[in-house]
Structure 1
Amino acid sequence: MLMEKTYELSGHTLLVVFHEKIIQIKNPNALKKFLSGDIDLRSEILVNYIKQDYFNFIGKELEISNDSFIIEIWGHVFASHFAKAMKNLIKLKLIEDAANFIIKKSDVIDCGENDVDLNRTFWDILANFKKLIIVFLPKKIK
């Protein structure tokens, strides 16, 4: 069963698609803009809304910790952000091809439980370093 919900948060429209054990966040540009102010608080708010709606739609908890969920979202948003910046700064085919690959992979934001998301363990490990990671994130995203 496929469910969708549109969130209007701080003037940004975010579309989330709910599947059993996995969610997808559509419109990565709107997500990036939403996260450009008070990223820590806004990330928590978004993840809490998604997890509550997942429970309402699917009838059980989404088995992803908040911090792991947030780190995965940041990983996608900022990988794409840095790849686009790299592509604009360095005009070499190899760099542009690598940047395009990163952009394509990171613009698809799928966050799933361990048994359906092969990267969940990676995000779970990085979640332990959330307070350190946030120090290195850009303060403002254009």
Structure 2
Amino acid sequence: MMRIYLRLRKFTRKMDKVYELRNCEIKVRLDEGLIRVYSDKGLWCYLDNNIRLRTLELAKFIKIDYQKEVNKTLMISESSLMVEIWAHVYSDYFGLLIKRHLKIKWVQNLLQKGIERAEIIDCGEKKFDSNRWVWDFLSHFEQIISLFLPKNISNKNLKN
């Protein structure tokens, strides 16, 4: 059985948190109806192995913590959270990878804009997130999607 080691500390605001899962620090912000996860080195480290299992663990943990902090159930399925996290993390990853190897200035500028959008993963309930339906739909294919996700992305040293 796998264990999750957690160290939780709050920073700056009441709902801004750092979860330490498997020796990786994952930054999350909880707002009513919305969670924000940051695609940074800590999240990438966490997703290096067992991507599907670890993303599910993270989604479950976020939902439990949200319930505790906001005193409401987050109305986003775990699968929908997983797929949205992957979309951002791996868009960020592929954008940085291409930017590193393709040295055309206008392409790099365009990629940078996409990378900046991918770095902040805003997952909102339907009333706050107009594209929640996309992630809900794609969540039906999360098992298949997970087969195509690259492993060990933090080893590429694309994030500081």
Alignment correspondent of 1:106? 118
2:66 aligned residue: 54
**What does 1:120-135 align with in structure 2 at a 5 Å threshold?**
120-135=132-147
Task: Please say if residues 33 and 128 of structure 2, whose CA atoms lie closer than 8 Å, have aligned partners that are also in contact.
Answer: yes
Count of aligned residue pairs for this structure pair:
142
Moved more, 114-123 or 53-62: 114-123
Structure 2 residue 87 is the aligned partner of structure 1 residue 87: no
TM-score (norm 2): 0.83
Q: Distance in 2 between matches of 1:105 and 1:59?
A: 29
After superposition, residues 20-31 of structure 1 pair within 5 angstroms as 20-26=32-38, 28-31=40-43
Paired residue secondary structure (1:36): coil
Identity level (%): 36
Partner residue, 2:80: 68
Per-residue displacement from partner, 1:41-96 (whole Å, max 9, x unpaired)? Answer: 11111111100010011111100011100000011100000000111111112321
Root-mean-square deviation (CA, aligned residues, Å) is: 1.5
**Which consecutive unaligned segments of at least 5 residues does structure 1 have?**
none
Residue 140 of structure 1 corresponds to 152
Q: Which runs of 5+ in 2 are unaligned?
A: 1-12, 156-160
TM-score by length of 1: 0.93
Q: Indicate conservation of the 8 Å contact 2:39/2:92, yes or no.
A: no
